[in-house]
Structure 1
């Protein structure tokens, strides 16, 4: 069998294999893009949640600072106790 006769079947196999390989690489690229987009959307949702929490805290602080009818120190202490409830201090009866 001559070299040319051997190259014809190899070329006939190389074309579909190349097409399958190219299609496979395209699908992998699409999956990677989808994964990156999903991750970006999750990060954006986390940032939005964090921003909303910070805005709520700022609103509370603005209300405390601008409302002249309340004692500022008392309000801040009340907020501290809401976020991190502490047990009452130990009694020291001597």
Structure 2
């Protein structure tokens, strides 16, 4: 490969890379500019939804941790024994 061929290949690679960078930046900048800021009603609805989700997570955490406590295991064992006696 001659020097001229190598130089043309390097310039082509650089041009291709610059084109990709410009296209990437243009596409992502367009998404930021087109985003409409939420109004107050949307913000209030989103806050309400987040609070509901937080409450649900608290309940799930309580269920997950309480189900594995010693009291819960004892209660479950007693309930299972009662059910076994009912089946007889």
What is the TM-score of this pair, normalised by structure 1?
A: 0.45
TM-score for both structures, normalised by structure 2:
0.47
Greater fraction helix: 2
Decide which structure has the larger Cα Rg and report it: 1
